Structure 1
Amino acid sequence: GKGSPVLILHHDIGCPDRAAFAEALSGSHDVLMPVHPGFGLGSERAEWMRSVRDLAVLYRGLLAKLGIGRASLVGLGFGGWVAAEMASMAPADVDRLVLVGAMGLQPREGFILDQALVGYIDYAEAFFKDPAAFDAVYGREPTNDQLEAWDICREMCFRIAWKPYMYSQTLAPLLGSVTAPALVVHGTDDEVVPADCAEQYAAALPNSRLETVADCGHAVALERPEALARLVLDFIGE
């Protein structure tokens, strides 16, 4: 699309072939939605990576290679953690920051759902409040290729986000330098990431606001793409 650049960073369960949320943004913005290295059937394994911050550094390098000085970052779940790390590295390069059900901070109450304790399909299904929404994205019976892709994604999560599981012990104190406008979004029925994490992000980012999407689970961009697109487009256009 045309317009200001927007980098969308996907969930830890991978990037669906068709993303209605990204398509909605591409009508007025130059949208980039790459597959995380090591998170997909055709993706380079990236066995050298040991932290989410390594992944954030790679994306900083990608933007530099593309000649993009400032961009809006939209992080979905695990991708929200990556986006927050990127913003903490180079605050001046962030136009707008959007964190949707972001991992990366330790919940004060509850815990981030541990995918090691559930099966591939059960973990992905937990991202949705409505089972029909899961079926619309992945089918009633996910393909063998999809199961293999989830296996690869899980392996990478264990490689770079295992101890501690799905949060950083150093990120929160670094967020105070991120003065770009920030939108923190959370599904009211998120069973993967506690709402407390969204509240912590909103408190740590000095120029932020918190919005909730009703009747929606963790994968807001997949379950309620139109609602999230309206929120994000209005926010980026402010």
Structure 2
Amino acid sequence: MQTLDLVDAGSGVEFGGGVHLDTRVAGSGDRVALVLPGAERSVEDIAFLDALAEEFSVVAPSHPGFGRSPRPDWCTSVDDLAYIYLEWLDRSALTDVTLVGLQFGGWVAMEMAVRSCARISRLVLVDSLGVKLGGPLDRDVVDLFATPHVELDRRLYADANRGLGELGRAPEQDVLEVVRNEEALVTYGWEPYLHNPRLLHWTWRIGVPTTVIWGDRDGIVQPDHGRGLAERIPGARFELVRDAGHRPQVECPEDVARLIAKFAA
């Protein structure tokens, strides 16, 4: 049995280096899942985290600059995020951790795994960003910053009604969170665009069982990209989630949680 010395769900957690992150903690299982989110609003992941908490003790921080988590001036790269979470794992003395990366969080999770899997026993990547498989002129990832939000909703979700639609008509707090998350995403992923050119050359260092999960209607990063990513991680398996877009944990939370629990078992 592992223990988590953390505060209640929805409060802040100190992650080292003076980084204090808004964090959701749920569940009481023997196994620990560290869930790294993408750029979605925090409320969108609640059903998924609750489903995952039926099998795991779940720790889900908002990255520095996202949601209600402050970003220190020095924290400007995905490398910084990877080291923040690796440091937290070391200080927590946890082992057998299932690391789950959602979209942008998948990039962070891979950066962690190529550095050290000492406390990570399994890796789950859900519609992950972070690597470029195409050529210099190929666009692996749709331009999130130049695409109108209504069009983004159609690409992010199989059911576009899950998005906010016209931001001018959406609740102010939701719009503020979207804008803050997009600002943070630009900070970490503007150039090179949402990938690390070196990361693909180090995926062979991921020495833990890995599963790559993808929405079959992802309009941001095509499923073939996910298959290609799985082929470049030793022994990784690929799972397709039906009737889901770029954020399958939002549209099919129980299905994604079930795949992760089955994989961890």
- TM-score w.r.t. length of structure 2: 0.81
Deviation of 1:195 after TM superposition, in Å, equals: 2.3
1:63-78 alignment to 2 at 5 Å? 63-78=89-104
SS in 2 for 1:197: helix
Aligned CA distance change for structure 1 residues 191 and 68 (closer, same or farther; 3 Å): same
Counterpart AA for 2:94: I
Conserved? CA contact 2:154–2:219, under 8 Å: no
Conserved? CA contact 2:90–2:119, under 8 Å: no
1:110-149 alignment to 2 at 5 Å? 110-120=139-149, 122-124=151-153, 126-134=155-163, 142-149=170-177
Please name the residue that 1:229 is paired with. 257
Please name the residue that 1:25 is paired with. 52
SS in 2 for 1:62: helix
Please name the residue that 2:227 is paired with. 199
Counterpart AA for 1:46: P
- Residues of 2 paired with 1:60 and 1:187: CA distance? 28
Deviation of 1:118 after TM superposition, in Å, equals: 2.3
Please name the residue that 2:82 is paired with. 56
Higher relative contact order (CA 8 A, sep 6+): 1
- Residues of 2 paired with 1:156 and 1:47: CA distance? 12
Conserved? CA contact 1:103–1:197, under 8 Å: no
Aligned CA distance change for structure 1 residues 181 and 27 (closer, same or farther; 3 Å): same
- Residues of 2 paired with 1:49 and 1:120: CA distance? 27
SS in 2 for 1:11: coil
Conserved? CA contact 2:102–2:126, under 8 Å: yes
Deviation of 1:16 after TM superposition, in Å, equals: 2.0
Unaligned 5+ segments in structure 2 are 1-27
- Identity between Structure 1 and Structure 2 (%): 31
Counterpart AA for 1:117: A
Between structure 1 and structure 2, the one with the greater Rg is 2
Counterpart AA for 1:114: D
Aligned equivalent of 1:94, options 120, 124, 132: 120
SS in 1 for 2:212: strand
Please name the residue that 2:17 is paired with. none
Aligned CA distance change for structure 1 residues 120 and 131 (closer, same or farther; 3 Å): closer
- Residues of 1 paired with 2:150 and 2:123: CA distance? 30
Aligned CA distance change for structure 1 residues 18 and 52 (closer, same or farther; 3 Å): closer
- TM-score w.r.t. length of structure 1: 0.90
Unaligned 5+ segments in structure 1 are none
1:184-230 C-alpha deviation (Å, 9 max, x unpaired): 01111101112233123211211210010112100000001111111
Please name the residue that 1:4 is paired with. 31
Aligned CA distance change for structure 1 residues 148 and 23 (closer, same or farther; 3 Å): same
